[in-house]
Amino acid sequence: MARIEVEKIVKRYSDVEGVGGARSARPALDTVSLDIADGETIAIVGSSGCGKSTLLKIVAGLEQPDEGVVRFDGEDVTAVRPQARGVGMVFQDYALYPSMKGKGNLAYYFQVHGRTEEEARARAQETADRMGIGFEQLLDQSTDTLSGGQQQRVAIARCIVREPRLFLMDEPICNLDAKLRESTRVEIRKLLRKFGISTLYVTHDQQEAVFMGDRIAVMRGGRIEQIGTFDELYYSPANLFVATFIGSPPMTVLPAIASGGLLTVAGAEWPAPVPVPDGPVRIGIRPESWFTGRGDGALMTVSHIERIPTERAAFVHGQVDGVPVVVAAPLNQPDTAELRIMPDMGRVYVFAADGEQCLHTPGPLDLF
Amino acid sequence: MAASQQHTPVEEEAPAAARPGERETAPGPAGGPPASTKPGTQKPGRRRRVETTLFTLPAFLFQLSWGWYPMIMAFVLSFTDAALRRPVQFTGLESYQRIWDDPLVAQSFRVTAVYTVLSITLTFFIPIFVAILLMEMSRRHIRWMMLLWFLPLSGVASTVLFRYMFNAQYGLFQWVATKVLGLPPQPFLNSADQVLFWLVVPGILFFGPGLIYMATLQSIPASYFEAAEIEGAGFWRKMWTISLPRLRPIISMLLIFAIIGSTQAFEFPTIMTGAEGSPGGAARTVVMYLFQLLQQLRYADATALGVYLFVITMTLVVIQRRFFREDPDT
Amino acid sequence: MTAIAVDNLVKEFGDKRAVDGVGFTTGESELLVLVGPSGCGKTTTLRMLAGLEPVSSGTIRFGDREVTDVRPRDRSIAMVFQDYAILPHLTVFENIAYGLRSRRTPRAVVKDKVPEAARTFRIDHLLDRKPRQLSGGERQRVALSRSMVRDADLYLYDEPLSNLDAQLRYSAREDILTLHRRKKRPTIYVTHDQSEAMALGDRIAVMNAGRIQQIGTGEELYERPVNRFVAFFIGTPSINLFTMELKNVDGDMVASGCGLDLRLPESIAHRIRAYAGRKIELGVRPEHLHVPRMAPFDVTEDNTIHGVVTVIEPSATGSTVYLSTPEEAGAEPQDFTATFKVRMPASYLDQEVPLGIDLEKVHLFDAETGDSLLHGPQGKG
């Protein structure tokens, strides 16, 4: 258990052949800083190639940063070898020893480190007890007979046995099928809460990140764009990228003209939520922040309605002035070719006309 | 995630001057930072660099003493009289001239050229198509055929076996020719015209790179062939658009081995036809002649012949590289 | 009109039955999704439809043509593979044109159709590139374009979104629907993700252990599952299942177990009186658990469950709360899930809270067979 500080990490890779010179000029990690409080889980989310796995490897010690420092409990570990850092890693492909039973996998660490067999067995047993119901029977099976979810539980137990200061998880459940992923992620979250070990959890799935992380770090192109709780990212995004990255279906972004406190969007005029300097801007509206069927709305041509009975909702897909729009509606929303839609102006995000600057965010939800 | 992180880590730009003593100050397993280093100035990459050097050193020394040193010495010797009992005298291009004028050398190069062409067409290209055809069969059949066609037999043992099979009086091949096919007795290895062809034939069966082709073909994702099948491609189109392009890098590599192997053919023709490459030197390759020169203690001539062969082989390899340019997409 | 008819399809690998009597029909322009956990036989079924896997028994008909033993290339199908099956040494253009060239389509037609299909999926600027230079999403769109240029009788998809980043899946779904609406031909789509199935399918076939458990619209499967498996598989978070015993207490049907005694309402009770004394499983959807103050019904002793909050997951429209029945309730603590339309504050973590169960909306299953006591298999087919 530890407090982890990552300070101004820079990592460059050599010129990778192909894809032109542009990529190699850009560092894989560009001045990344991150603090993990004792017992906290931070989820790092970003699309492929954003540097999230590189960051994880640097914290683990598997890669060396070009600049910057990694500290565990205030102690500089940048030059410490991975074995000596006391981190437990859980990988995408579980990385269990296939020839051993679950038990052997747990005891392996102690055998390698020359502890007695009794001690190894005792520690494995103790961990098994703490892992919860039904775990013990996994230990007597050969690992290749276990399901993906079960293998991942053994892999986590193997880390816990060593009492790591820090857990590093690299997309641990992305190889499981959807239904199993659902239950396994609850399992992992509960274990993390129970053991209170600081954790860095890497994923490309923003919903998984929201679920796993006490805080979420959104990465892109080697930089952390924003780090915060779900509410901070969702209601007060730092920029357009974070605003569209968090939330599914994603936010709709429409061009608008501001003049005299009014926003003109596709022929409709709406009052601006905050004073906006006259000129072109863009407004962002989340699917759940639309009113439908109001006379003063913008005209939306509907392409199809996606009904999700399991979520008691329908998503109306279509276009306003050629821009794709998604509107959440009740499940029984009738089929129409056109729809008048109007945003809940209190829940609108305002962005500059170019670039990604955020001019206004609605902030946390205020129901009354 | 798969394709995203495939960068090659580069070593630090720290000076590579690795003084061995510095390794001692590297952080120990206790986990604490080395006392002397200040944050931001330490270069852990240096340790990795020293390790890299240490790991490659034995191989490098080996290569130097068994690979480069003899090669350079042979090259030097070829410009001398390579005398054994008195100081070596520089003779310039004399031995090169002598080798150039030797009619047996010309013959041996002709033999080697024919042997190379025959063996590459018969034992190199045929297995490619055989392997592709085999892949069309059911999995059980593939396994049996692999065993039969690409049996990994010991070189010398099977060569000796073949000598008996080719025997003009009581060999299996003669029996097939006279008793089964009803032909007049064939000379096989005793005919100056046929000897090279018959030398190559066993290679089709036993020394082909077929197993490697099969392994490569099996590593092609099945979905490529399935998608092609669904898209309406027949056998030939699948071969031209999938099998051959995917085999290309391995073909290119094995072709280099095949060229080097057949220009330097020695053991097999020697065992099959004797050191002279009978009849009348019709099977005497360049290396066989080189070996004869060595036996006659003509070291300078032998090394000069070696240099000639080296130049020709190198030229062939360079031409091959031109034709098979590296393709990063395969 | 029936476009595709599959009858009693069986596939055996050795002595294992991967597909065990699958049968269904599709309409002329229907998108049917086969959904199920890994190993349920859905991919094998799809591969038999494509002709990539010989069938052990059963028949496949496309319209009035039987194709059970026809070679894949003679079946007139287009298929998008999980790994996209794009040839790495060919350009994007050649990859899209592959099927046209295999069928000796005139050059002019190829020159016309390929860029048009590429434009539909926003990759027309990439036609000269090699697949190596493309992102995952672009590769996926190459695979879609390859289907787009074809005029096939049947379009097949084998988990085409599983290799994509989560954020790309939304636009990819749109692309698949675009292709389907253009072609208006029968389409079979295989996935393990029920939410993908819900979003795409006109109808959905839920598969398990080599058999189709139920076919229907998303709503039918969700509201009227014929067995425990379908109820559990459809819907996220999954339905909560409690093993209980059904009792007849003075004419009222009471489900008891897991420390609960739930008095079932008459609308359900009158259909299950015959089951008194039997073991059942009670299924409660997470959205049918309510905070008492906000419940649309009276919360009493007879419909309350207590739970300790273990995890709170925030979402845009509320929260998903993971709970465990308290230890002292007599039985093993059991996990269950509730979804609320309001945000649950983190201060409730590790607190015990009472929740009201909307008993009008529960599902009941035979504990042994797993069959629904309320919804018969008439929904099938």
- Residue A117 belongs to domain with CATH number: 3.40.50.300
Domain hosting C345: range is 240-366
Residue of B nearest to C131 (CA): B329
Asked if the model's pLDDT at residue B12 lies above 50, the reply is: no
Q: Which of A182, A215, A241 is a domain's end point?
A: A241
Length of chain C (residues): 381
pLDDT digits (tens, 9 = 90+) for C204-213: 999 999 999 9
- Which pLDDT belongs to residue B16? 34
Q: Would an 8 Å CB–CB cutoff place A14 in contact with chain B?
A: yes
Chain A residues with CB-CB distance to B48 below 8 A? 64
Question: Would B40 be classed as within a structural domain?
Answer: yes
Question: Would B85 be classed as within a structural domain?
Answer: no
Residues C10 and C63 in one domain: yes
- Which pLDDT belongs to residue B315? 92
What does pLDDT average to over chain A?
Answer: 85
- Would you tell me which residues 178-197 of chain A have a C-beta closer than 8 angstroms to some C-beta of chain B? none
Structure letter (DSSP) for residue A61: T
Contact between chains at C98 and B223 (C-beta distance less than 8 A): no
Q: Which of C225, C255, C280 is a domain's end point?
A: C225
Residues B212 and B267 in one domain: yes
Asked which of A175-189, A339-353, C8-22, C231-245 is least confident by mean pLDDT, the reply is A175-189
Asked if the model's pLDDT at residue B41 lies above 90, the reply is: no
Asked which of A216-225, B264-273, C110-119 is least confident by mean pLDDT, the reply is B264-273
Q: Which of C176, C196, C225 is a domain's end point?
A: C225
Question: Would B90 be classed as within a structural domain?
Answer: no
- Which pLDDT belongs to residue B153? 60
Residues B31 and B103 in one domain: no
Residues C53 and C181 in one domain: yes
Asked if the model's pLDDT at residue B78 lies above 70, the reply is: yes
Only one residue has tokens 């579980």, namely: A94
Residues C85 and C190 in one domain: yes
Q: Would an 8 Å CB–CB cutoff place C151 in contact with chain B?
A: no
Contact between chains at B40 and A17 (C-beta distance less than 8 A): no
Banded model confidence at residue B127, pLDDT cuts 50, 70, 90: confident
CATH number at residue B297: 1.10.3720.10
**What are C203's strand-pairing partners?**
C32
Question: Would A133 be classed as within a structural domain?
Answer: yes
Contact between chains at A85 and B31 (C-beta distance less than 8 A): yes
pLDDT digits (tens, 9 = 90+) for C136-177: 899 999 999 999 999 999 999 999 998 888 778 888 998 999
What does pLDDT average to over chain C?
Answer: 91
The proportion of chain B whose per-residue pLDDT surpasses 70, expressed as a percent, equals 80
Q: Which of A213, A241, A269 is a domain's end point?
A: A241
Q: Which chains have 3 or more CB–CB distances shorter than 8 Å to chain A?
A: B, C
Chain C residues with CB-CB distance to B6 below 8 A? none
Residue of C nearest to B329 (CA): C89
CATH number at residue C128: 3.40.50.300
Question: Would B83 be classed as within a structural domain?
Answer: no
Contact between chains at A174 and B1 (C-beta distance less than 8 A): yes
Residues C290 and C208 in one domain: no
- Average pLDDT for residues C70-96, to the nearest whole number? 94
Q: Would an 8 Å CB–CB cutoff place A85 in contact with chain B?
A: yes
Minimum distance, in Å, between the CA of residue C191 and any CA atom of chain B:
17
Specify the number of domains making up chain C: 2
Banded model confidence at residue B200, pLDDT cuts 50, 70, 90: confident
- Which pLDDT belongs to residue A366? 64
- Which pLDDT belongs to residue B13? 33
Domain hosting A67: range is 4-15+24-241
User: If we measure between CA atoms, which residue out of C17, C25, C20 comes closest to residue C380?
Assistant: C25
Question: Would A304 be classed as within a structural domain?
Answer: yes
Only one residue has tokens 């890994």, namely: C38
Output the CA–CA distances (angstroms, integers) from residue C291 to A282, C342, C353, in the order listed: 39, 10, 9
Residues B120 and B30 in one domain: no
Question: Would B261 be classed as within a structural domain?
Answer: yes
Question: Would A365 be classed as within a structural domain?
Answer: no
Q: Which chains have 3 or more CB–CB distances shorter than 8 Å to chain C?
A: A, B
Minimum distance, in Å, between the CA of residue B142 and any CA atom of chain C:
18
User: If we measure between CA atoms, which residue out of A253, A89, A236, A76 comes closest to residue A160?
Assistant: A89
- Which pLDDT belongs to residue C211? 95
Question: Would A294 be classed as within a structural domain?
Answer: yes
Specify the number of domains making up chain B: 2
Banded model confidence at residue B137, pLDDT cuts 50, 70, 90: confident
Residues B101 and B46 in one domain: no
Domain hosting B9: range is 2-66
Helix axes C92-102 and C107-120, enclosed angle (nearest 10): 130
pLDDT digits (tens, 9 = 90+) for B288-321: 999 988 888 888 889 999 999 999 999 998 988 8
Question: Positive or negative, the Cα torsion across A296, A297, A298, A299?
Answer: negative
Structure letter (DSSP) for residue C84: T
pLDDT digits (tens, 9 = 90+) for A228-251: 999 899 999 999 999 999 988 889
Residues A32 and A157 in one domain: yes
- Average pLDDT for residues C315-340, to the nearest whole number? 84
Residues C43 and C158 in one domain: yes
- Which pLDDT belongs to residue B205? 64
Helix axes A148-161 and A102-112, enclosed angle (nearest 10): 30
Only one residue has tokens 């010398």, namely: B156
Q: Check residues A101 and B101 and name the one with the higher pLDDT.
A: B101
Banded model confidence at residue A147, pLDDT cuts 50, 70, 90: confident
Give phi and psi for B252, each to the nearest 5.
Answer: -60, -45
- Which pLDDT belongs to residue B151? 63
Banded model confidence at residue C304, pLDDT cuts 50, 70, 90: very high
Asked if the model's pLDDT at residue B42 lies above 60, the reply is: no
- Which pLDDT belongs to residue B272? 80
Residue of A nearest to B41 (CA): A67
Residue B324 corresponds to which tokens in the numbers above? Answer: 């098979």
pLDDT digits (tens, 9 = 90+) for A282-310: 999 999 899 987 777 889 999 888 888 87
Question: Would B311 be classed as within a structural domain?
Answer: yes
CATH number at residue A329: 2.40.50.140
Tell me the count of A-B CB pairs closer than 8 A: 72
Contact between chains at B7 and A13 (C-beta distance less than 8 A): yes
Contact between chains at C98 and B327 (C-beta distance less than 8 A): no
Give phi and psi for B276, each to the nearest 5.
Answer: -80, -10
User: If we measure between CA atoms, which residue out of A160, A128, A179, A186 comes closest to residue C310?
Assistant: A186
Question: Would A368 be classed as within a structural domain?
Answer: no
Q: Would an 8 Å CB–CB cutoff place A78 in contact with chain B?
A: yes
- Chain C interface with A: residues with Cβ < 8 Å: 37-38, 132-133, 135-136, 165-168, 170, 174, 177, 181, 192-196, 198-199, 218-219, 222-223, 233-238, 287, 310-311, 313-317, 322, 332, 335, 342-343
- Average pLDDT for residues C179-205, to the nearest whole number? 94
Residues A101 and A207 in one domain: yes
Residues B10 and B146 in one domain: no
Residues C192 and C306 in one domain: no
Q: Check residues C238 and B125 and name the one with the higher pLDDT.
A: C238
- Strand arrangement, sheet containing A75-76: A29-36, A4-11, A67-72, A75-76
Residues C39 and C150 in one domain: yes
Banded model confidence at residue B206, pLDDT cuts 50, 70, 90: low
Banded model confidence at residue B188, pLDDT cuts 50, 70, 90: confident
Q: Which chains have 3 or more CB–CB distances shorter than 8 Å to chain B?
A: A, C
Residue of A nearest to C130 (CA): A19
Residues C128 and C261 in one domain: no
Q: Would an 8 Å CB–CB cutoff place B10 in contact with chain A?
A: yes
pLDDT digits (tens, 9 = 90+) for A27-44: 889 899 999 999 999 999
Task: State how far the Cα of B118 lies from the Cα of B127, in Å rounded to an integer.
Answer: 14
Residues A187 and A235 in one domain: yes
Chain A residues with CB-CB distance to C199 below 8 A? 306, 308
Residues A232 and A283 in one domain: no
Residues B171 and B23 in one domain: no
Residues A311 and A196 in one domain: no
Task: State how far the Cα of B120 lies from the Cα of B318, in Å rounded to an integer.
Answer: 17
Contact between chains at A80 and B31 (C-beta distance less than 8 A): yes
Chain A residues with CB-CB distance to C177 below 8 A? 304
- Average pLDDT for residues A174-187, to the nearest whole number? 84
Q: Which of C29, C317, C323 to mutate against chain A (most A CBs within 10 Å)?
A: C317
Banded model confidence at residue B144, pLDDT cuts 50, 70, 90: confident
User: If we measure between CA atoms, which residue out of B202, B312, B324, B326 comes closest to residue B259?
Assistant: B312
Question: Would B82 be classed as within a structural domain?
Answer: no
- Which pLDDT belongs to residue C139? 94
Residues B59 and B105 in one domain: no
Question: Would C232 be classed as within a structural domain?
Answer: no
Question: Would C379 be classed as within a structural domain?
Answer: no
- Chain B interface with C: residues with Cβ < 8 Å: 3, 221, 223-224, 226-234, 237, 241-242, 245-246, 327-330
Asked which of A67-76, B60-69, B116-125, C144-153 is least confident by mean pLDDT, the reply is B116-125
Q: Check residues B131 and C17 and name the one with the higher pLDDT.
A: C17
Question: Would B81 be classed as within a structural domain?
Answer: no
Contact between chains at C192 and A178 (C-beta distance less than 8 A): yes
Asked if the model's pLDDT at residue C362 lies above 50, the reply is: yes
- Which pLDDT belongs to residue B250? 87
Asked if the model's pLDDT at residue A91 lies above 50, the reply is: yes
Residues B30 and B154 in one domain: no
Q: Check residues A23 and C318 and name the one with the higher pLDDT.
A: C318
> With contact defined as beta carbons under 8 Å apart, do A297 and A342 qualify?
yes
Residues B212 and B282 in one domain: yes
Residues C20 and C147 in one domain: yes
- Would you tell me which residues 283-322 of chain A have a C-beta closer than 8 angstroms to some C-beta of chain B? none
- Average pLDDT for residues A199-218, to the nearest whole number? 93
Residues C187 and C247 in one domain: no
What is the β-pairing status of strands C57-62 and C335-340? unpaired
Residues C71 and C181 in one domain: yes
Residues B245 and B293 in one domain: yes
Residues B167 and B270 in one domain: yes
Asked if the model's pLDDT at residue C255 lies above 50, the reply is: yes
Banded model confidence at residue B9, pLDDT cuts 50, 70, 90: very low
Residues C24 and C55 in one domain: yes
Q: Which of C225, C251, C272 is a domain's end point?
A: C225
- Which pLDDT belongs to residue B207? 53
Residues B124 and B213 in one domain: yes
Question: Would C47 be classed as within a structural domain?
Answer: yes
**Which residues lie closer than 8 Å to C256 by C-beta, 6 or more apart?**
C244, C245, C247, C262
- Average pLDDT for residues C353-368, to the nearest whole number? 94
Q: Which of B27, B51, B66 is a domain's end point?
A: B66
Q: Which of A147, A175, A179, A220 to mutate against chain C (most C CBs within 10 Å)?
A: A179
ipTM for the predicted complex: 0.86
Contact between chains at A310 and C218 (C-beta distance less than 8 A): yes
Q: Which of C158, C165, C358 to mutate against chain A (most A CBs within 10 Å)?
A: C165
**Which residues lie closer than 8 Å to A2 by C-beta, 6 or more apart?**
A38, A72, A73, A165, A166, A198
DSSP for B178-244, written as a single string? IIIS-PPPP-GGG-TTTHHHHHHHHHHHHT-SHHHHHHHHHTS-HHHHHHHHHTT--HHHHIIIIIH
CATH number at residue C256: 2.40.50.140
Q: Is the peptide bond before C345 cis (omega within 30 degrees of 0)?
A: no
Asked if the model's pLDDT at residue B1 lies above 60, the reply is: no
Q: Would an 8 Å CB–CB cutoff place C137 in contact with chain B?
A: no
Contact between chains at B27 and A75 (C-beta distance less than 8 A): no
**H helices of chain B, where?**
45-62, 69-77, 94-101, 103-119, 126-135, 139-149, 155-165, 172-175, 195-206, 210-218, 222-230, 235-238, 244-263, 267-273, 286-295, 299-323
**What are C366's strand-pairing partners?**
C280
Q: Which of A224, A241, A258 is a domain's end point?
A: A241
Residues A133 and A207 in one domain: yes
Asked if the model's pLDDT at residue C356 lies above 90, the reply is: yes
- Classified as helix, coil or strand, C335 is strand
**What are B17's strand-pairing partners?**
none
Question: Would C184 be classed as within a structural domain?
Answer: yes
> With contact defined as beta carbons under 8 Å apart, do C260 and C266 qualify?
no
- Which pLDDT belongs to residue B208? 60
Instruction: Select the residue of A49, A53, A81 nearest B27 (Cβ to Cβ).
Output: A81
Instruction: Select the residue of B10, B34, B328 nearest A79 (Cβ to Cβ).
Output: B34
> With contact defined as beta carbons under 8 Å apart, do C324 and C333 qualify?
yes
In what helix (H) or strand (E) does residue A216 lie, and over which residues does it extend?
A: strand A215-220
- The count of C-alpha atoms lying within 13 angstroms of the C-alpha of C60, restricted to the half-sphere facing its C-beta, is 24
Specify the number of domains making up chain A: 2
